[in-house]
């Protein structure tokens, strides 16, 4: 494998990139290709004469051209396919286009459109991106990893495809998620695309529709479980440690039986985190922070109902605990304010629970004396009314779970309820902002997981805050990589949440603007990265540098998608 690097000419001070290939090989490599923007000198030195029309385009002209073509696509999936094809031929131009049009294109590059791409992956497949590691070839892990484009990989996003957004098991189609997530790292935090690697662990699928699909590209057997599954993950991690010893590993969209278990198994052995739990927890904490401060209240003043207690619900609850502890509560006092609900209702002692759910189960005496709609089962509505919930968080994937009864009761419980319908994609959202406004007569603070159009509150049109992990994980990754931390701790995510909250003014928060504008995502990621790097240093895990030096390193590490001069090196 060759190392990707930007060089500095010691005589002129010019930054340039060494390229090891010429002609069509160069043009067909998306990380190096400039398309019609190759200069006359580069065309001469790199054997490109005759491959492109004579006119030399500026990047601005190229952006105009590709945006014009993008705009002609009529459906989100068509737009997604067009952008992916651009990514496959010219990565620098792709990132310039998306960064310039972030608000418009991020919903295409990632949620909600990426969900449809994952579902139809085997039917849309055109060109491989990232690496596919199956249970059948795990013994060749080092040879597989040697097929990475470059040897100095800094970031790996890996999934086994079992819990893709709110869509469940998508098998090998889950690769759409790591591909999208690495793109968000580049757009959000400026990690260089050459140093990011999406990976799919194919251990089979339990999705019968995929197993019966003759075009399905993955292993056609049921998912491995137990020791067979664990051995695949173990060999994968050991291979990564050998081939990319300094890479950050992000676990993405693993099933609830494996997500926390895998994270805990490897979080001290390798620099890694699970965005579905820790990233979701941090951005949700930040949103709630903004909302309660906008109400001149505190986290510890609230009663929280979390509907859907898989890995995202667990991550949110765990992070909320840390936030309330910082406000002076004990762990037990903080847990008393959280009411977790799963498919069988409020999670209570004596129920058949997953191991991770047990630490948040409520005792039976909590509900003694509660008036229930149906004896023997504590429903979402029962919990909202009896617990007098002031914050309701949906991570269930159950469309319309927050019905008019639930939403109107929230408005009776508190003057300004906080409603977070966070399930992705849009079709899985627990409610729409319009439903919230109608049921609460506009007395509410709203955030959603997927993007929604502005909503009218008291005849004033307001943007809906998107509680998007993109506000957290790119900055966490950048801060971890720059600080060279050996592991990523829960305290780093608390620091990230605080950095995000600090960018929301009290005036904006009081008006329901709970997060910065997505157009400012680079500024957000920079602040988050600095906070994470400082926490890594202060905890003895990262490099010991001053705040000023860490800030300087982070700013310098944020790649801007522009063309640098090329020089050929054999």
Burial status of residue 526 (CB atoms within 10 A of its CB: 0-12, 13-18, 19 or more): buried
Which of 34, 181, 295, 498 is flagged as catalytic?
Answer: 181
**What is the DSSP track for 279-347?**
IHHHHHHHHHHHHHHHTT--GGG--EEEE--SHHHHHHHHHHHHHHHHTT--HHHHHTTEEEEETTEE-
Residue whose pair of structure tokens reads 């992000």 in the numeric block: 250
Instruction: Confirm whether 181 is a catalytic residue.
Output: yes
The answer to whether residues 211 and 228 touch, using CB atoms and an 8 Å cutoff, is no
Spatial separation of the C-alpha atoms in residues 12 and 263, rounded to whole Å: 47
The answer to whether residues 475 and 557 touch, using CB atoms and an 8 Å cutoff, is no
Spatial separation of the C-alpha atoms in residues 186 and 522, rounded to whole Å: 10
Parallel/antiparallel/unpaired status of strands 465-466 and 445-448: parallel
Tell me the β-bridge partners of 445.
418
Spatial CA neighbour of 500 closest among 478, 532, 477, 537: 532
Instruction: Confirm whether 110 is a catalytic residue.
Output: yes
Which residues have CB under 8 Å from 178's CB, separation 6+? 130, 157, 158, 159, 198, 199, 200, 252
Spatial separation of the C-alpha atoms in residues 290 and 455, rounded to whole Å: 19
The answer to whether residues 526 and 474 touch, using CB atoms and an 8 Å cutoff, is no
**C-alpha distances in Å from residue 546, one per residue of 488, 527, 552:** 20, 15, 10
Task: Dump strand ranges (E) for 223-296.
Answer: 248-251, 272-274
Which residues have CB under 8 Å from 416's CB, separation 6+? 295, 443, 444, 445
Rg (CA), the chain: 24
Which of 80, 110, 304, 566 is flagged as catalytic?
Answer: 110
Which residues have CB under 8 Å from 232's CB, separation 6+? 133, 135, 138, 201, 203, 224
User: In terms of C-beta distances under 8 Å and separation of at least 24 residues, what long-range contacts does 133-140 make, across chains too?
Assistant: 133/199, 133/200, 133/201, 133/202, 133/232, 133/236, 134/201, 134/202, 134/203, 134/218, 134/219, 135/202, 135/203, 135/204, 135/219, 135/224, 135/228, 135/232, 136/219, 138/231, 138/232, 138/235, 138/236, 139/235
State which H helix or E strand residue 18 sits in: strand 15-19
The answer to whether residues 167 and 194 touch, using CB atoms and an 8 Å cutoff, is no
Burial status of residue 157 (CB atoms within 10 A of its CB: 0-12, 13-18, 19 or more): buried
The answer to whether residues 491 and 520 touch, using CB atoms and an 8 Å cutoff, is no
Spatial CA neighbour of 405 closest among 422, 392, 423: 392
Tell me the β-bridge partners of 157.
198, 250
Q: Which residues are known to be catalytic? A: 110, 181
């Amino acid at each position: 494998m060759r190392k990707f690097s930007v060089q500095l000419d010691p005589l002129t001070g010019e930054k340039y990139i060494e390229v090891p290939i010429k002609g069509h090989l160069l043009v067909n490599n998306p990380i190096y290709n400039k398309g019609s923007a190759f200069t006359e000198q580069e065309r001469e030195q790199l054997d490109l004469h005759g491959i492109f029309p004579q006119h030399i385009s500026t990047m601005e002209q190229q952006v105009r051209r590709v945006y014009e073509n993008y705009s002609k696509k009529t459906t989100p999936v068509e737009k997604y396919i067009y952008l992916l094809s651009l990514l496959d031929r010219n990565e620098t131009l792709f990132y310039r286009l998306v960064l310039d049009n972030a608000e418009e294109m991020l919903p295409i590059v990632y949620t909600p459109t990426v969900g449809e791409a994952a579902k139809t992956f085997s039917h849309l497949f055109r060109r491989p991106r990232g690496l596919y590691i199956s249970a059948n070839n795990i013994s060749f892990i080092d040879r597989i990893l040697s097929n990475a484009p470059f040897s100095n990989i800094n970031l790996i996003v890996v999934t086994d495809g079992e819990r893709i957004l709110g869509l469940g098991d998508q098998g090998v189609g889950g690769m759409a998620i790591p591909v999208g997530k690495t793109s968000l790292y580049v757009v959000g935090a400026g990690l260089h695309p050459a140093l990011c690697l999406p990976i799919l662990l194919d251990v089979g699928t339990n999705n019968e529709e995929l197993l019966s699909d003759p075009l399905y590209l993955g292993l056609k057997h049921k998912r491995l479980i137990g020791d067979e599954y664990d051995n695949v993950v173990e060999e994968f991690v050991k291979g990564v440690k050998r081939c990319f010893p300094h890479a950050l590993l992000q676990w993405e969209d693993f099933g609830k039986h494996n997500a926390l278990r895998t994270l805990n198994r490897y979080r001290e052995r390798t620099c890694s985190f699970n965005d579905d739990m820790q990233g979701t927890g941090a951005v949700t904490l930040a949103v709630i922070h903004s909302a309660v401060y906008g109400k001149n209240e505190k986290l510890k003043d609230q009663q929280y109902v979390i509907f859907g207690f898989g890995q995202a619900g667990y991550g949110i609850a765990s992070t909320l605990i840390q936030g309330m502890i910082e406000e002076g509560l004990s762990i037990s006092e903080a847990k008393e304010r959280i009411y977790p609900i799963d498919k069988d209702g409020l999670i209570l002692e004596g129920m058949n629970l997953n191991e991770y759910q047990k630490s948040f189960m409520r005792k039976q005496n909590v509900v003694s004396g509660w008036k229930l709609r149906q004896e023997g089962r504590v429903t979402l509505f029962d919990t909202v009314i009896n617990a007098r919930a002031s914050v309701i968080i949906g991570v269930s994937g159950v469309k319309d779970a927050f019905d008019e009864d639930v939403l109107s009761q929230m408005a009776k419980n508190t003057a300004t309820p906080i409603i977070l319908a966070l399930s992705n994609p849009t079709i899985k959202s627990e409610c729409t902002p319009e439903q919230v406004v109608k049921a609460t007569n506009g007395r509410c603070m709203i955030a959603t997981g997927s993007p929604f159009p502005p909503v009218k509150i008291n005849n004033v049109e307001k943007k809906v805050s998107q509680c998007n992990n993109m506000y957290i994980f790119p900055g966490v990754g950048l801060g971890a990589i720059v600080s060279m931390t050996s592991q990523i701790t829960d305290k780093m995510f608390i620091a990230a949440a605080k950095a995000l909250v600090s960018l929301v003014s009290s005036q904006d928060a009081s008006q329901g603007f709970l997060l910065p504008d997505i157009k400012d995502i680079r500024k957000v990621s920079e602040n988050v990265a600095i906070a994470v790097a400082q926490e890594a240093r202060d905890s003895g895990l990262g490099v010991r540098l001053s705040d000023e030096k860490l800030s300087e390193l982070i700013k310098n590490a944020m790649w801007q998608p522009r063309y640098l001069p090329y020089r050929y090196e054999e």
